[in-house]
Amino acid sequence: MGLKQNLHNFREKNKDKKWLPAFSAIHTFLFLPNETTHNGTHIKAADDLKRTMNTVIMAMVPCLIFGMFNAGYQHHLAFGEIQQATGGFFSAEFWTLDNFSVGFWKVIPLVVVSYVVGLAIEILFAIKNSHEVEEGYLVTGMLVPLIVPIDTPLWMLAVAVAFGVVIGKEVFGGTGMNILNPALTIRAFLFFAYPTWMSGDKVWVHGAVEQDQLIAAGENVDAISGETILGSLAQNKGAGYEIMDMFYGLIPGSVGETSTLLILLGGLFLIFAKIGSWRIMLSSVIGALVMGLIFNGVVAQDWITESSKFYGLMSTDFWQHLLIGGFAFGTVFMATDPVTASQTTKGKWIYGFLVGFISIMIRVFNPAYPEGVMLAILLMNVFAPTIDHYVVQGNVKKRMKRVKAKVA
């Protein structure tokens, strides 16, 4: 208590200093804010925005740790140094210190760069505009390293983070004012600025790029190159993995997006904490299943031949679309962003359904885009205010009709 009071006194003595927002960011992260309500009607609660953001981070930590193990596992598997894990999620070949160490030293730098660059820009804008450092980047900083390929160059990530924070957030006024999800804005910038890194088949396994360079140089390298399931299906080669491996996450992919099991548990945790919208999550799943069923029906009617470039993904069982790619991660952690998603109850159902529906549509017709979910969520971020507007206007019209009926 003494430390908190001393820091509070220090803050009050220097409240006119330009650098105070940087100090306040650390102060309020360690302690509850000193501001309290005095007048009017308020709801008293122990949580605040920082604690809410920390809860979301807690839901993503299992995906982060699993991603480290999987990065090492996929690396050793691609280079032929180990065999396919026989016990799946509970296999001793997967949960080894060697796998974790390889993944740790590849993933942690991504996390550090994401937070250092993003928070530095947040602090600079806070000092320039003389306001408190906003908490929104606490979650964005964790999302970014989880949705990029394992071998993304650090300088490339730094440039993308700077772009996403400045253009995707600060120009709109900061946290709570942005119309696009900042993490997906960063992901979109990476894709369109450096497409060979973000859409190629050789970047999803650590070391696969170097491996291909050795092969090109004439070296004798007996290994696979780490193609994603979506890349394989898009080429009509089949998934190549067992269903349970796809569910557990023992597949190549972005750092934190592969384990549907852990993402599902994280989603349940957010629903229990009343942070994530179960309506958006459920309606996204329904939308994806409907689109998958439509494509399966097209294949069943022989309206498309096996020679078509769309056949592989169209013929994939509709429910398997939930297990592959970044659909589950995007649905749980990014489509439910309370700032950029729909706010009305009916709007959430419409918004979520269209996210899932459009995700699978893009995935099938243009698999070069990162699994469709990125563009689907960004597109619906733009239309979310419009959806809410028409929902509200619809409610107003219904009430006016009831009023007129009573008057008549």
pLDDT in tens, the chain (408 residues): 554 554 455 455 555 555 555 555 555 555 555 555 555 555 555 566 667 888 899 999 999 999 999 999 988 888 877 877 777 788 888 888 899 999 999 999 999 999 999 988 888 877 776 666 667 788 899 999 999 888 889 999 999 999 998 888 877 776 677 888 899 999 989 888 888 777 655 567 877 766 555 445 445 444 445 567 777 776 666 667 888 888 999 888 888 888 999 999 999 999 998 888 999 999 999 999 999 999 999 988 888 877 777 777 888 888 988 988 889 999 999 999 888 899 999 999 999 999 999 999 998 887 666 568 888 999 999 999 999 999 999 888 888 888 887 776
Distance CA 56, CA 49 (A): 11
Return the pLDDT at 304.
81
Return the pLDDT at 29.
54
Return the pLDDT at 7.
46
The structure tokens 């999620």 sit at 89
| Sign of the dihedral defined by the CA atoms of residues 264, 364, 340, 111, in that order | positive
Distance CA 319, CA 1 (A): 54
pTM of the predicted structure, to 2 decimals: 0.85
What dihedral angle (degrees, nearest 10) is formed by the CA atoms of 284, 290, 296, 298?
-130
H-helix segments, 207-305: 208-216, 229-234, 243-248, 260-272, 278-300
Other Cβ atoms less than 10 A from the Cβ of 154: the count is 13
Q: Is 204 left (phi over 0), alpha (psi -120 to 50) or beta?
A: alpha
- Token pair, residue 19, equals 């650098």
Return the pLDDT at 196.
74
The structure tokens 């992901």 sit at 187
Return the pLDDT at 63.
94
H-helix segments, 79-135: 97-129
Q: What residues contact 237, with CB distance under 8 A and at least 6 apart?
A: 312
